[in-house]
Structure 1
Amino acid sequence: MRYKNGDLLVIPVLDQQYSFAQIVEDLPHGNVLLAVFSELVPDGRVREVANLELEEPVFLLETMDLRIKDGTWSIVGNLEVSKCIATPVYKVWVDPPGEFRMQDVRGNVGVPISPERASGMKFQKSFSPAVVEAALRGLHGLGPWRSAFEELAF
């Protein structure tokens, strides 16, 4: 299944409970930058897609597109990605010369940054679709919340 930026997905959480997610950016090598929202809906049916509140995701993360391609995460519409959802900038260590640099979501390495600035930034990391589903269960009290899920937070 082909997908594109702005596609709205329904993610099964547990027992006919679903959450919404949106593809913020289609990335190389079968990954997507995904904004995941907290709202739970029964049976995965979408009311009016245009009326969904998609401004404040609970998670913003990179994940593999496996669940999209196999149809587990169904595409139910497409909306423009909110301007409130900024594409992250990461830090990467470059050796030599032995310094932190900025890195965009596509892996492009940019300008050097100070260690102080780098301390407040994340390294780029991809999470499995199963982790996304487990984090949603934990968020809604339908499974354990693990401290590792905090890395997914928007």
Structure 2
Amino acid sequence: MAREDGPPVSAAFLLMTLGRRVRDEVEAGLRAEAMSLRHLSALGHLASGPGLSYSELARRAGVTPQSMQATLNALEARGAVVRVTHPGRGRRAELHVTDEGERLRGVGRGILAAIDDRIAEQLPDEAATAVTQALLALMRAPGV
């Protein structure tokens, strides 16, 4: 993509930079609840697939199983998830999101919605929709 007043602009660089700004803002909002994006991600994956193993949750989140176990232990300690089975090597954790976990997910959704609203305010309605559709297409594209 070329600019009229200078060198080409990299879409990858722009996405990376904007993504970092949004991530920092989400993390700052979550800190008020003593949460991180990793906690929110784990709650989301677990809510959509109760009983997933630590390894499966870790793979989906792009972290190690040990890191995911620490994340889930922290969520369990604060009552956001409950363990239905006893822990054991090679066994599924059988963790489920509690009402407190759903409340925390709601906080995360609220933070994201506020950012979405501010993004939409910067663009004409049809452009905001087009940007969202283009980003979804890129997320689905292999190798991107």
Give yes or no for TM over 0.5.
Answer: no
More helix by share: 2
Larger radius of gyration: 2
More strand by share: 1
TM-score (norm 1): 0.22
